[in-house]
């Protein structure tokens, strides 16, 4: 019996089904919270010349799953993704099974067609009439591609000759934008100092008036504004920049306008909430992570450009005739317009998910997230010891526990968070708003219900009260 035959037995299916069932249970900890020393001690991490049996491999997989954070758990709120997707899992399995790369139609015929159709589908939801685009390795990569296109549009010879006056090019994002914009500026050769941070309002949305003022100041200094990056769903507050106003400014100054909708792009699927992205159809490009609000396995990110031709003009190079051949099917090849060569088929899991659930189910899911977030917000505002630290725009709730007996609120709230994680009760992250540490609760698990939110806050409040009873008023161990 070959390894392939053995794989088809019931053992691997039992392992996967057991993991899924355990993750669905309230009795299962979200995480074991094991330090590296314990994992190294408990798990067989040896690698030998002789290899091991398939049985030993299965045993290791069970250990791996046992010690992994259960991101599909209804008490996992740590990052901007959560939950479990059956079509997504199937898509990942078939993608690995077929082991296709997305550079040519010849090697990936069905996947190429699926990706092309999804570009039309998702671009249409944004409001692009005839877009180009493709799946990329994440939101950070999408922001990089947009900045590269914008640089090359401003400096037509940059692709071949580089940037001789890179520090004259200036990009603008909000002070709540993702750090990947600064990394992108580093990669394209203008330097992270050339990314200017536009002030945001109390909700975390960019001030258009401040943007225009900064643009004028920049040009008076003899510098060249070439890129504006708005955010649809900021990382901490979940805010949406006013794209309508920003688009008008970008058009007036003839500057590339990109939207980082990595977090909030899912609202395009909801007739009730898509108004948060009003004006996005006037942007030049957008990145949208389906592995966030849409709940697909990481990564599932689509980069879209409103007008065709920019990607090919920016990313194509010579000397590729060994892979891109001159024949009638070559016009369908996606590789020439990609920054990557080898590229996995992330399109399949999104296609299967949209095929299985449909647009209406996704609209209901997005609306449920907003409803649960409003429910959580009401719990915070209705409790005497909980303080809402930012006005809620979408699915992020920023709050903290307060008491006149606490000397260091930052340290105390961090301690509460870590205490809950160490016990496997939940996993929620924290961030800073100014100098204040806040608990950032993000509700993106489509299986979560109000009872799960109640359970989270019950655990949070009990943990905080327990620390106070022990006299831990600073939040220090």
pLDDT digits (tens, 9 = 90+) for 20-38: 999 999 999 999 988 999 9
pTM of the model: 0.95
Strand boundaries in 186-284, DSSP class E: 195-198, 224-231, 256-261
pLDDT digits (tens, 9 = 90+) for 211-270: 999 999 999 999 999 999 999 999 999 999 999 999 999 999 999 999 999 999 999 999
- Span 101-344 CATH architecture: 3-Layer(aba) Sandwich (3.40)
Q: What is the mean pLDDT of residues 280-297?
A: 98
Q: 321: pLDDT confidence band, cut at 50, 70 and 90? A: confident
Nearest to 446 by CA among 10, 24, 7: 24
Q: Would you say 293 and 372 are in contact if contact means Cβ atoms under 8 Å apart?
A: no
Side by side, which strands form the sheet with 285-289?
Answer: 132-136, 301-305, 285-289, 256-261, 224-231, 169-174, 195-198
Identify the bridge partners of residue 396 per DSSP, sorted by sequence position: 442
pLDDT digits (tens, 9 = 90+) for 399-428: 999 999 999 999 999 999 999 999 999 999
pLDDT at 382 over 90: yes
Task: Give the dihedral sign, CA 139/227/152/314.
Answer: positive
What's the rounded Cα separation, in Å, for the pair 327 and 77?
50
List b or e across 201-223, with b for residues whose CB sees 16 or more CB atoms inside 10 angstroms.
eebbbbbbebbbebbeebeeeeb
DSSP 362-382: HHHHHHHHHHHHHHHHHHHHT
The length of the chain, given as a count of residues: 477
Place of tokens 């500057």: 255
Task: For residue 290, give both structure tokens.
Answer: 């389906």
Three-class DSSP category at 304: strand
pLDDT digits (tens, 9 = 90+) for 162-202: 887 767 999 999 999 999 999 999 999 999 999 999 999 99
Inter-axis angle of helices 347-381 and 109-126, nearest 10: 40
* CATH 3.10.20.520 matches 354-469: no
Task: Give the dihedral sign, CA 235/338/93/47.
Answer: negative
Three-class DSSP category at 467: helix
Q: Would you say 13 and 21 are in contact if contact means Cβ atoms under 8 Å apart?
A: no
> Mean pLDDT, the chain, as a whole number?
94
Q: What is the largest CA-CA distance in the chain?
A: 75
* Cis peptide bond upstream of 361, omega within 30: no
Position 310 scores a pLDDT of 95
What's the rounded Cα separation, in Å, for the pair 148 and 213?
25
Position 477 scores a pLDDT of 44
List b or e across 325-364, with b for residues whose CB sees 16 or more CB atoms inside 10 angstroms.
eeeeeeeebbbbbbbbeebbbbbbbbbbbbeebeeeebbe
Nearest to 144 by CA among 272, 3, 287, 277: 287
Place of tokens 């806050």: 457
pLDDT digits (tens, 9 = 90+) for 194-209: 999 999 999 999 999 9
What's the rounded Cα separation, in Å, for the pair 281 and 276?
12
pLDDT digits (tens, 9 = 90+) for 434-454: 999 999 999 999 999 999 999
């Amino acid at each position: 019996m070959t390894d392939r035959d053995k794989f088809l037995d019931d053992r691997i299916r039992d392992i996967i089904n057991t993991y899924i069932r355990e993750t669905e249970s309230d009795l299962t900890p979200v995480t074991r919270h094991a330090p590296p020393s314990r994992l190294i001690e408990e798990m067989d991490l040896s690698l030998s010349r002789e290899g091991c049996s398939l049985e030993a491999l299965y045993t290791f997989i069970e250990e791996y799953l046992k010690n992994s954070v259960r991101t599909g758990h209804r008490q996992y709120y740590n990052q901007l993704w959560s939950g479990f997707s059956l079509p997504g899992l199937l898509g990942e399995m078939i993608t690995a099974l077929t082991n296709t790369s997305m550079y040519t139609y010849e090697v990936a015929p069905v996947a190429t067609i699926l990706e092309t159709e999804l570009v039309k589908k998702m671009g249409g939801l944004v409001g692009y009439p005839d877009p180009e685009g493709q799946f990329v390795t994440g939101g950070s990569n999408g922001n990089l591609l947009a900045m590269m296109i914008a640089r090359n549009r401003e400096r037509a010879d940059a692709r071949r000759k580089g940037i001789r006056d890179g520090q004259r090019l200036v990009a603008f994002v909000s002070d709540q934008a993702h750090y990947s914009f600064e990394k992108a500026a580093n990669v394209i050769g203008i330097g992270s100092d050339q990314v200017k941070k536009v002030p945001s309002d109390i909700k975390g949305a960019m001030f258009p008036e401040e943007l225009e003022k900064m643009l004028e100041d920049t040009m008076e200094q003899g510098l060249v504004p070439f890129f504006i990056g708005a955010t649809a769903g900021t990382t901490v507050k979940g805010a949406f920049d006013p794209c309508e106003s920003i688009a008008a400014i970008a058009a007036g100054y003839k500057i590339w306008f990109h939207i980082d909708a990595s977090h909030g792009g899912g609202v395009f699927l909801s007739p009730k909430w898509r108004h948060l992205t009003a004006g996005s159809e006037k942007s030049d490009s957008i990145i949208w992570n389906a592995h966030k609000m849409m709940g697909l396995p990481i990564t599932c990110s689509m980069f879209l450009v409103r007008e065709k031709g920019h990607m090919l003009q920016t990313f194509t190079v010579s000397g590729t005739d060994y892979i891109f051949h001159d024949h009638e099917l070559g016009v369908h090849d996606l590789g020439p317009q990609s920054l990557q060569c080898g590229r996995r088929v992330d399109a399949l899991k999104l296609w299967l998910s949209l095929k299985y659930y449909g647009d209406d189910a996704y609209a209901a899911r997005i609306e449920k997230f907003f409803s649960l977030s409003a429910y959580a917000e009401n719990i915070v505002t209705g409790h005497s010891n909980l303080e809402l630290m930012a006005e809620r725009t979408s699915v992020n709730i920023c709050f903290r526990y307060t008491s006149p007996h606490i000397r260091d609120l930052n340290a105390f709230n961090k301690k509460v968070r870590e205490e809950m994680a160490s016990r496997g009760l939940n996993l929620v992250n924290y961030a800073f708003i100014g100098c204040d540490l806040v608990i950032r609760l993000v509700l993106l698990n489509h299986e979560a219900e109000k009872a799960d939110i109640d359970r989270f806050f019950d655990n949070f409040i009990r943990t905080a009260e327990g620390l106070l009873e022990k006299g831990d008023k600073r939040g220090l161990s």
